[in-house]
């Protein structure tokens, strides 16, 4: 039997997951979201009885928004299976739709059809989503027409100057009145030169990932050189590179803190098929909370859709003999 956490009486766990998924991609320092909300108390999780359930793990927020961007720039339509449905992913979907991408929900899955030509003359609402405010501007530079970006009041405090300056160095026309933050407007011309660019990504590795994701569509690709002393989350950059490689894009890291993406097509992984199916692995954050749940109550919780690797296919282990269980 598959149950939700609310059915298990653990809706406070859902509250905690929502806080973990609020705007940040796990790769940013010094810009904690929420302001006064961060101090808000939440009730400790509890269950009224013994646990006995198989719980479906949600998709990865970080990977979902990366795959949405790549699917919007791909050579053909894709079906993204088991994405995370959250405010951040909803904002990303709307942003890409605003640029001309067709994204249709089919049950829990998303059918993404790239636009023949990305179009501007629109406004993108970023909310608090760092992936939207940092991944979509490079895509907007490839659109034809102005694209205005703004977000929630606190989003205007989040750093954007490094990625905006990097895009300008790559040939983009961006107006921000010197703020280096939201709101700003990207005046897309339908293409972007690209090339080598230096950027200090000390505040967020999203600055790097945003440039890499759209780089196959740049005329010269991109060669990103990090000039700062540290990176908040190298694994998130590796996630971006792996997603690009899975689509046949040539990427490499010639030195520590440098990444190159060659220009070219974002090929479909299933050659000869009209539709590519991309199944996203679950997030590790909610997985940890769910596995921990059975440690404070008796019973059993079986994580459903647990993956054994971080590739493009997701293996469901539910019901198999080696299916991981948490018993007590």
Please check whether residue 219 is in contact with residue 253, taking contact to mean a CB–CB distance below 8 angstroms.
Answer: no
In angstroms, rounded to a whole number, what is the distance separating the alpha carbons of residues 109 and 118?
Answer: 23
- Return the pLDDT at 12: 45
- Return the pLDDT at 116: 94
Domain-embedded: residue 117 = no
Domain-embedded: residue 228 = no
| Burial class (CB within 10 angstroms; exposed 0-12, middle 13-18, buried 19+) of 196 | middle
Q: Buried b vs exposed e over 283-314: b needs ≥16 C-beta within 10 Å? A: bebbbebbbebbeebebebbbbbbbeeeebeb
Domain-embedded: residue 314 = yes
Please check whether residue 182 is in contact with residue 154, taking contact to mean a CB–CB distance below 8 angstroms.
Answer: no
Q: Retrieve residue 216's tokens.
A: 């196959």
Domain-embedded: residue 245 = no
Interacting residues of 310 by C-beta distance below 8 A, sequence separation 6+: 239, 242, 281
H-helix or E-strand containing 90?
Answer: helix 87-98
pLDDT (average), residues 206-224: 98
Confidence at 40, pLDDT banded by 50, 70, 90: low
Residue 192 has pLDDT above 90, yes or no: yes
In angstroms, rounded to a whole number, what is the distance separating the alpha carbons of residues 202 and 33?
Answer: 18
Helix segments in 116-269, DSSP class H: 130-140, 161-169, 206-214, 234-245
Domain-embedded: residue 35 = yes
More confident residue, 98 or 48: 98
In angstroms, rounded to a whole number, what is the distance separating the alpha carbons of residues 232 and 235?
Answer: 9
Number of compact structural domains in the chain: 1
In angstroms, rounded to a whole number, what is the distance separating the alpha carbons of residues 76 and 74?
Answer: 6
Residue labelled with tokens 């040939």: 171
Domain-embedded: residue 301 = yes
H-helix or E-strand containing 132?
Answer: helix 130-140
Domain-embedded: residue 294 = yes
The domain of 33 spans 11-58+282-327
Residue 222 has pLDDT above 80, yes or no: yes
More confident residue, 224 or 45: 224
Residue 319 has pLDDT above 80, yes or no: no
Domain-embedded: residue 213 = no
- Return the pLDDT at 33: 37
Instruction: Note the Cα 298 to chain centre separation in Å.
Output: 35
For the chain, the maximum distance between any two Cα atoms, rounded to a whole number of angstroms, is 61
Residue 91 has pLDDT above 80, yes or no: yes
pLDDT tens, residue by residue, 146-172:
999 999 999 999 999 999 999 999 999
Please check whether residue 126 is in contact with residue 151, taking contact to mean a CB–CB distance below 8 angstroms.
Answer: yes
- Return the pLDDT at 309: 40
Q: Retrieve residue 10's tokens.
A: 């653990």
What mean pLDDT, rounded, does the chain reach?
79
N- to C-terminal Cα distance for the chain?
Answer: 19
CB atoms within 10 A of CB 15: 14
In angstroms, rounded to a whole number, what is the distance separating the alpha carbons of residues 266 and 248?
Answer: 6
Residue 320 has pLDDT above 70, yes or no: no
Cis peptide before 56 (omega within 30 of 0): no
Q: Retrieve residue 143's tokens.
A: 């659109």
- Return the pLDDT at 3: 45
pLDDT tens, residue by residue, 116-148:
999 999 999 999 999 999 999 999 999 999 999
| Burial class (CB within 10 angstroms; exposed 0-12, middle 13-18, buried 19+) of 127 | buried
- Return the pLDDT at 301: 64
């Amino acid at each position: 039997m598959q149950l939700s956490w609310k059915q298990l009486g653990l809706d406070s766990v859902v509250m905690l997951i929502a806080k973990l998924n609020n705007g940040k991609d796990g790769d940013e320092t010094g810009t904690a979201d929420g302001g006064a909300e961060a101090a808000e108390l939440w009730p400790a999780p509890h269950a009224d009885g013994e646990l006995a359930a198989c719980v479906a793990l949600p998709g990865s927020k970080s990977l979902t928004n990366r795959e949405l961007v790549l699917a919007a720039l791909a050579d053909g339509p894709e079906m993204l299976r088991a994405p995370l449905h959250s405010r951040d992913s909803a904002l990303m979907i709307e942003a890409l739709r605003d640029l001309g991408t067709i994204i249709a929900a089919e049950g829990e899955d998303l059918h993404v059809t790239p636009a023949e030509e990305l179009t501007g003359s629109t406004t993108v609402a970023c909310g608090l989503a760092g992936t939207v405010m940092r991944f979509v501007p490079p895509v907007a530079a490839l659109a034809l027409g102005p694209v205005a970006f703004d977000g929630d009041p606190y989003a205007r405090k989040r750093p954007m100057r490094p990625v905006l300056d990097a895009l300008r160095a790559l040939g983009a026309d961006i107006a921000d009145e010197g703020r280096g933050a939201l709101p700003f407007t990207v005046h897309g011309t339908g293409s972007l030169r690209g090339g080598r660019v230096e950027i200090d990504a000390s505040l967020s590795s999203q600055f790097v990932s945003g440039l890499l994701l759209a780089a196959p569509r740049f005329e010269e690709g991109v060669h990103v050189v990090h000039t700062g002393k540290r990176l908040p989350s190298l694994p998130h950059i590796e996630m971006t590179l792996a997603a690009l490689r899975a689509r046949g894009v040539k990427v490499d890291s010639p030195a520590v803190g440098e990444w190159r993406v060659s220009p070219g097509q974002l090929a479909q992984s299933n050659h000869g098929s009209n539709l590519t199916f991309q199944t996203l692995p679950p997030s590790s954050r909610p997985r940890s909370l769910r596995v921990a749940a059975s440690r404070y109550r008796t019973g059993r919780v079986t994580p459903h859709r647990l993956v054994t690797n971080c590739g493009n296919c997701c293996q469901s282990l539910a019901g198999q003999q080696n299916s991981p269980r948490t018993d007590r």
